[in-house]
């Protein structure tokens, strides 16, 4: 929904280097000057630094680093992702709320995002430690134009989009099949895809994304400290979460458009460029066996391709990879 606050934010963005009068804002927004002033005070309470100069008007000097619905709308440059944002300071799980909203008809591109999760969801029923102020915890509602068979490919596409953003920022992240993102040999981000579908029709997909951004070593859960990391730990600097979120949304739109218009093959090729331990010996665990093989990449459906010791190839749609030394 295009709220007055969102429209105000976009107008202020267009005047980042100049002042705009209260009267001008009043006319564009169709509200009183007193209402404009109240909106400005609400933005200041959210951390915006606003100059208000008599006879000149208003100008935003600085937007805050904190996450909020207002800051997520600031400088938003997407076509459909995030045009509807549900932000909460604290949720049990963005995935749980997003699934509920999707069942109620939430539109394509709706994002549920929290500063903190108390019961974050990972893959295979695992929990995801999601402390306040440190990471990106969000779920994206998608109403796709393809069938259930292709849903797994969307998870791989999301991993490509996120890894693109990291690589563009000189972060040498890599993807562990199918959708975990690693940095410095440890897990940095995870993607969880949950689907509501009929036999040949997807009602919705909820794509959950968790990324460790600004945790210090002491803020990583001790139980996973040997396996998990954050951008701050690996790069020795703090990152603006809002900027990374916008970049991820933008790249995902690009990858999604590529997928819809050209299919999976180009995305598969890019996924292979980012693949972790491609050509290396790995351990694969399936419900029926644990064995070693050489990781040769992914197939046209996104399935895992392994080469056995006898040179034969097997393709797996469900398995957990581990490194030989683990």
Question: How far is Cα 321 from Cα 275, in angstroms, rounded to an integer?
Answer: 12
Contact call for residues 293 and 307 (beta carbons, < 8 A): yes
Question: How far is Cα 220 from Cα 238, in angstroms, rounded to an integer?
Answer: 15
Neighbours of 77 (CB within 10 A): 11
User: Which helix H or strand E contains 290, and what residues bound it?
Assistant: strand 290-298
Answer yes or no: is 66 a known binding residue: no
What one-character-per-residue DSSP string does 206-271 give?
A: EEEEEEE-S--GGGS-GGGTTTB--HHHHHSS---HHHHHHHHHHHHHHHHHHHHHH-SHHHHHHH
- Cα-trace Rg, the chain: 22
Question: How far is Cα 124 from Cα 25, in angstroms, rounded to an integer?
Answer: 50
Q: Could you give the angle at the alpha carbon of 276 between the alpha carbons of 270 and 277, nearest 5°?
A: 125
Contact call for residues 230 and 184 (beta carbons, < 8 A): no
User: What separation, in Å, do the N-terminal and C-terminal C-alpha atoms of the chain show?
Assistant: 48
Please name the residue ranges forming H helices in 49-150.
69-73, 94-103
Question: How far is Cα 141 from Cα 207, in angstroms, rounded to an integer?
Answer: 7
Of the candidates 165, 192, 189, the residue with the CA atom closest to the CA atom of residue 175: 189
Residue with tokens 């105000």: 8
Name beta bridge partners: 130: 117
Answer yes or no: is 117 a known binding residue: yes
Residues at the annotated binding site? 117, 187
Residues at the annotated binding site for biotin? 117, 187
């Amino acid at each position: 929904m295009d709220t007055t606050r969102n429209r105000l934010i976009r107008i202020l963005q267009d005047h980042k280097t100049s002042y705009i009068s209260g009267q001008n804002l009043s006319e564009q927004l169709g509200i009183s000057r007193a209402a404009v002033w109240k909106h400005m005070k609400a933005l200041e309470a959210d951390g915006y630094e606003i100059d208000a100069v008599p006879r000149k008007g208003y100008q935003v000097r600085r937007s805050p680093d904190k996450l909020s619905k207002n800051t997520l709308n600031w400088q938003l440059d997407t076509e459909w992702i995030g045009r509807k944002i549900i932000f909460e300071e604290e949720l049990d799980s963005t995935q749980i709320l997003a699934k509920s909203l999707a069942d109620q008809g939430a539109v394509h591109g709706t994002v549920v995002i929290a500063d903190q999760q108390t019961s974050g969801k990972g893959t295979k029923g695992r929990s995801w430690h999601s402390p306040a102020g440190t990471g990106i915890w969000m779920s994206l509602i998608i109403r796709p134009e393809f069938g259930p068979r292709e849903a797994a490919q969307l998870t791989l596409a999301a991993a490509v989009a996120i890894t693109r953003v990291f690589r563009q920022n000189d972060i040498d992240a890599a993807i562990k099949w199918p959708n975990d993102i690693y940095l410095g040999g440890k897990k940095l981000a995870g993607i969880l895809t949950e689907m509501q579908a009929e036999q040949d029709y997807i009602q919705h997909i909820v794509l959950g994304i968790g990324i460790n951004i600004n945790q210090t070593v002491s803020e990583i859960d001790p139980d996973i400290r040997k396996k998990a990391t954050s951008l701050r730990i690996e790069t020795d600097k703090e990152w603006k979460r809002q900027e990374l979120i916008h970049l991820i949304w933008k790249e995902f739109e690009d990858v999604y458009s590529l997928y819809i218009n050209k299919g999976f093959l180009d995305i598969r090729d890019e996924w292979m460029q980012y693949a972790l331990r491609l050509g290396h010996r790995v351990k694969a665990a399936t419900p029926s066996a644990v064995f070693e093989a050489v990781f040769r990449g992914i197939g046209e459906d996104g399935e895992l391709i392994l080469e056995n010791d006898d040179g034969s190839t097997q393709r797996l749609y469900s398995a957990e990879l581990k490194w030989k030394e683990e």
